[in-house]
Amino acid sequence: MTITENLLNAVRDIEPIIRQYAPEAERERKLSAPVAEAMHRTGLYRMWRPKAFGGYELDPVSGFRIIEAVSRIDSAAGWNLQIAVAHDLFAPWFDDSAAAEIFHADAIPVGAFNPARKAVPVAGGYRISGRTSYVSGAHHATAFIGFANVHDDGELRLDDDGNAVTKIIAVPASEAEIVDNWNTMGMRGSGSHDVAMQDVFIPEHWTAPWRPLQQPGDAYTGRFTA
């Protein structure tokens, strides 16, 4: 049996849990913990993670089949799953040590990218501040991925072309605050609240220049670069 078939069987196994807690997700405006735990336990969050980090390195179409299978059961669960696995695709921008620390086997990386946060250089890394909207799955995240513009002495750092110097960053979820403001009529279970952080330190290697990817990390070869 292939990995894809195993994961599709896993979706069928946890279908009763997803269905049971779908009304709670709509009522509480976030994916329920038992559903997130079931998707984590069965490895769904690792479908596009490299084998070096405990993932399955599935091809895109196989991944889409699994997301589709979850979404047929509950749209909020499918939305949260696709958001998390999509953020795995930003891992190749980070160096090998950061990728291993951020995208480990138990990781659930989520995020949003606008507006960009503020990054202030300090010894060993950056202090990150800012508030970003529409962070689906925030309550079950292990890290928040996003953009940050570098500031020096209160001024935005610009490159030679006059553009903001932007980094892709990761911030531990434990260092951020979820702002309870996802009050909508539809997709309530996606839990797409704002996330705020204030003067949070992250090490230098948890950032990377945001530019076209030239050389991915060692774990991101083969299927990921084909």
127 shares a domain with 77:
no
Find the angle CA(11)-CA(64)-CA(56) to the nearest 5 degrees: 70
pTM of the model: 0.93
79 and 121 both lie in a single domain: no
Q: Which two tokens stand for residue 219?
A: 């774990």
Residues 6+ apart with CB under 8 A from 149: 116, 117, 118, 119, 156, 157, 164, 165, 166, 167
Spatial separation of the C-alpha atoms in residues 168 and 204, rounded to whole Å: 11
3-class DSSP assignment, residue 216: coil
pLDDT at 195: 97
pLDDT at residue 50, rounded to an integer: 94
Evaluated on CA atoms 168, 48, 44, 61, the torsion sign reads positive
**98 burial via Cβ count (<10 Å: 0-12, 13-18, 19+):** buried
C-alpha to C-alpha distance for 119 and 177, rounded to whole angstroms: 17
In a domain, 216, yes or no: no
Rounded alpha-carbon distances, angstroms, from residue 101 to 39, 155, 203, 217: 21, 31, 12, 13
Contact 47, 39 (CB under 8 A): no
* pLDDT score of 224: 54
CB 18 within 8 A of CB 7: no
Residue 222 lies in a domain: no
d(CA 145, CA 150): 16
* pLDDT score, position 225: 47
Are residues 12 and 62 part of one domain?
yes
Domain that holds residue 172: 109-209
Alpha-carbon span 11 to 13, nearest angstrom: 5
Q: Report the pLDDT value the prediction gives residue 226, as an integer from 0 to 100.
A: 43
Query: In 3-state terms, the chain is what percent helix, strand and coil (to 5)?
Result: 40, 25, 30
Does 64 share its domain with 128?
no
When divided into structural domains, the chain yields a total of 2
If the chain, 226 residues long, is cut into consecutive pieces of 10 residues, what is the mean pLDDT of each piece?
Answer: 94 98 96 97 96 94 97 96 96 95 97 95 98 96 98 94 96 97 92 97 97 87 58
Q: DSSP per residue over 78-135, as a string?
A: HHHHHHHHHHGGGGGGS-HHHHHHHS-TT--EEE--SS-EEEEEETTEEEEEEEEEEE
d(CA 44, CA 9): 11
* Residue 150: CATH number of its domain: 2.40.110.10
